[in-house]
Structure 1
Amino acid sequence: MSQPLSGVKVVDFSTLLPGPLCTLLLAEAGAEVLKIEKPGSGDDMRGYEPKVGPDSVNFGLLNRGKRSVALDLKSAQGRDAAFALAAEADVLVEQFRPGVMERLGLGYDVIQRANPRLVYCSITGYGQSGPKAQTAAHDLNYLAQSGMLSLSTGADGAPVLPPALIADIAGGAYPAMMNILLALRQRDATGHGSLLDISMADNLFPFMYWGLGSGWSGNGWPRPGAELVTGGTARYRIYRTQDGKYLAAAPLEDKFWRNFAEVLGDPELAQCDDRATETVQRVSSLIAARTAAEWVERFARVDACTVEVVSLEQASADPHFVQRGLFERSVRLAGGTEIAALPVPIASEFRASTPCADAPPLA
């Protein structure tokens, strides 16, 4: 069987994470992705650590299975070559600030006249319009400006740095791919392409549906450390064990909360006010009396939605994820070294049967 995006040609002008991850997803589903890079150094991600020899591991993970061509977009010759590629493409992805592609003569209005079927996807921090459209920013800034960062605080009340680039991936790469697929489906019906305005900051708000709903309905705007999923209940918290490790406890439903109390050896706990400080302290004391291994063994016997907080290294070796084949595919870096490929949310039946694909050398 051919892959769903076989025959779809993508020209990718993006760099670093959001656009490259989007086009990685397209490539994994069968699209032919041509990555446009600046001559000499290429995508800035090529210089990022860690490296295997001269190759950036990050670049390899995000650009598996693509081809690369170096074009100087500051020269007329480079712009003409880029225009010719876009005129023959099905999809164009770019993530410059608003107006840059227009100044290069590669804006949607110009290319669309030559290629009316083109799906033109622009990924930016704050979108193509609005007071913040030209503001320089990164992932942390989008989290801060969307209100998300204010809801994740430490014991001292200060916002905590998140360990993931949420806006880049969940606000940029994933919505971009989703809308590209919708645009291709629409093109099948109309014969016309689309201009897609993907704002990473805009796309963070669905993650806070519960807080928005509370505020809009007059039930109060969420407070850090005080709501259902921000530490306002003993049923959804992180607890320290005797040996300095941690348990992530999420027994939200009553049946799980009762099981949780039973495992802790304090059945009456299930009748306590789970939002009371005394209840949190009671649970904390009980969990602090045993090691993480002891609790893991006890909680494994019942449904209580409580697990140990493990490292990324431990998670990548977890028999469950290994059995599901998350890390079976590989990417061959330009120097010849193979490493596990980035697991991506594309169903296995839509991906190529070839387990290894190359990261593109700068051509």
Structure 2
Amino acid sequence: MLPLDDLVVLDFSTLLPGPMASLFLAEAGAQVVKIERPGGEDMRGFPPRFGQVSAPFAALNRGKQSVEIDLKAQGALERLTPLILQADILIEQFRPGVMARLGFGHEALAALNPRLIYCSISGYGQDGPRAQEAGHDINYQALGGLLGQSLQRGQEPPLPPSLVADIGGGTLPAVMNILLALRRRERTGQGCHLDIAMADAMPSFAWYGLAQGHATGTFPEGGQGLLTGQSPRYGLYATADGWFLAVGALEPKFWSGFCEAIGLPEALRDDAVDPPATRRAVAALIAARYAAHWRALLEPLDCCCTVVRTLDEARAEPQFAARGLFATHVREPGGRQMPSTPVPLAPVFRRQAEALRGVAASGEDTDDVLG
């Protein structure tokens, strides 16, 4: 028995934050009905193809039912009302006010189903001066000060690979607040409207810099914080073959072991004396050897040093294999299978890892669900 296997989720969202949130709920047992416009949501067209479907779409929407309906059409609300009456959770990701204009706003649906937990995910929230402003992950990171923690003035900026705002500011807060709302509903019998703003979570990821700034009156810019470039003990160092070693040797025992292993001169090991000099010396030592050398030498020492893995190497990492991260497979309508996107649910709360998850064609379940 899975924790959410008696719940029905209506997912009106598209692209990443909402669909990944409903994927979490589906993997924990919920029945997820994806509400799509005629022809299907935009991500169905994203490359590359995986047989008959989009691979990114398949990764996020495995195991869900698909209902096609034009929300602007007359009678759309009436057609979906039976489904709304039995739903426990609704997820939507339109700009504030769009669902209400379509007749599917929180107040209208709560009047039909007072127990409904209505989760709205947006860039800047349901109110405030930027509520109607368009944006993507990089914009929310920029506004929230998170990007500024890793950028140094006058230097070539790296493009962050992690969609921190979409997943860390949208998906994960949505799932967390939905579960809190379910607990609240157990006590009160009432649903609620959850206002999830992706930009709101960005300062949470800059917690250390904020604490430093509030305590000292000086907020660190890029390269000045303990975890953003100031300390030689925490950072990325280039190797002789152009790859990178990730060093996180913050604690004294880890730093001592790291310094000993790479042969850092004693005079530079107290990195509080001249941090830039220590960093330069560490960089020169790491740059003198290939990544494979540092991987063989440092990783077994347990001193918080890891050679950066490519995605292909990460997929084959024995640690992840032992944890079953890539054991779940998704199957497209033509029968092809591929490992699916892992979701970090505790094993006791997710579906059997080895089970296959199908990907529904757009509107495949319309007649069955609405009939």
Q: TM-score, normalised by structure 1?
A: 0.96
2:330 equivalent to 1:331: yes
Larger deviation, residues 206-215 vs 349-358 = 349-358
Q: CA deviation at 1:11?
A: 0.6
Q: CA deviation at 1:274?
A: 6.5
Partner SS, residue 271 of structure 1:
coil
Q: Structure 1: how far apart are the matches of 2:273 and 2:118?
A: 50
Q: 1:319 corresponds to which residue?
A: 318
Unaligned runs of 5+ in 2: 364-371
Q: 1:251 corresponds to which residue?
A: 249
* Backbone CA RMSD of aligned residues: 1.5
Larger deviation, residues 222-231 vs 17-26 = 222-231
Q: 2:341 corresponds to which residue?
A: 342
Q: 1:182 corresponds to which residue?
A: 180
Q: Structure 2: how far apart are the matches of 1:275 and 1:94?
A: 52
Q: 1:76 corresponds to which residue?
A: 74
Q: 1:193 corresponds to which residue?
A: 191
Q: Structure 1: how far apart are the matches of 2:305 and 2:299?
A: 9
1:239-275 residue CA offsets vs partner (Å, 9 max, x unmatched): 1112222111111111111111100123513234375
Counterpart among 36, 42, 45 of residue 47 in structure 1: 45
Change (3 A) 1:274 1:317: farther
Change (3 A) 1:274 1:188: farther
For 1:206-245, list aligned pairs within 5 A. 206-245=204-243
CA contact (8 A) 2:33 2:66 kept: yes
Supply the AA of the counterpart residue of 1:61.
A
Q: Structure 1: how far apart are the matches of 2:132 and 2:274?
A: 43
Partner SS, residue 339 of structure 1:
strand
Change (3 A) 1:359 1:256: same
1:13-33 residue CA offsets vs partner (Å, 9 max, x unmatched): 000001000000000000000
Change (3 A) 1:221 1:165: same
2:259 equivalent to 1:261: yes
For 1:123-202, list aligned pairs within 5 A. 123-153=121-151, 156-202=154-200
Q: CA deviation at 1:156?
A: 4.1
1:304-323 residue CA offsets vs partner (Å, 9 max, x unmatched): 21111121110110111112
Q: 1:355 corresponds to which residue?
A: 355
1:68-105 residue CA offsets vs partner (Å, 9 max, x unmatched): 00000110122322343222211111011111111111
Supply the AA of the counterpart residue of 1:361.
A
Change (3 A) 1:274 1:299: farther
Larger deviation, residues 244-253 vs 148-157 = 148-157
Larger deviation, residues 255-264 vs 333-342 = 333-342
Counterpart among 98, 101, 108 of residue 100 in structure 1: 98
Q: 1:119 corresponds to which residue?
A: 117
Change (3 A) 1:209 1:4: same
Q: Structure 2: how far apart are the matches of 1:218 and 1:291?
A: 41
Q: CA deviation at 1:46?
A: 0.3
Change (3 A) 1:116 1:12: same
Change (3 A) 1:272 1:341: closer
Supply the AA of the counterpart residue of 1:190.
T
Supply the AA of the counterpart residue of 2:108.
V
Larger deviation, residues 284-293 vs 21-30 = 284-293
1:192-247 residue CA offsets vs partner (Å, 9 max, x unmatched): 11110000000122111111112222341011012111111111121111222211
Q: Structure 1: how far apart are the matches of 2:153 and 2:269?
A: 26
Change (3 A) 1:102 1:328: same
Q: Structure 1: how far apart are the matches of 2:273 and 2:30?
A: 50
For 1:31-70, list aligned pairs within 5 A. 31-40=30-39, 42-70=40-68
Partner SS, residue 294 of structure 1:
helix
Supply the AA of the counterpart residue of 2:112.
A
Supply the AA of the counterpart residue of 1:357.
R
CA contact (8 A) 1:92 1:120 kept: yes
Change (3 A) 1:275 1:26: farther
Partner SS, residue 349 of structure 1:
helix
Supply the AA of the counterpart residue of 1:105.
G
1:265-294 residue CA offsets vs partner (Å, 9 max, x unmatched): 235132343752211111111112222111
Larger deviation, residues 251-260 vs 348-357 = 348-357
Unaligned runs of 5+ in 1: none
Q: 2:369 corresponds to which residue?
A: none
CA contact (8 A) 1:233 1:274 kept: no
Supply the AA of the counterpart residue of 2:313.
Q
Q: CA deviation at 1:160?
A: 2.6
Larger deviation, residues 264-273 vs 71-80 = 264-273
Supply the AA of the counterpart residue of 2:250.
L
Q: 1:14 corresponds to which residue?
A: 13
1:152-195 residue CA offsets vs partner (Å, 9 max, x unmatched): 22684354321121111010011001110111111111111111
Counterpart among 62, 84, 94 of residue 86 in structure 1: 84
Supply the AA of the counterpart residue of 2:79.
A
Q: Structure 2: how far apart are the matches of 1:247 and 1:155?
A: 24
Change (3 A) 1:274 1:231: farther
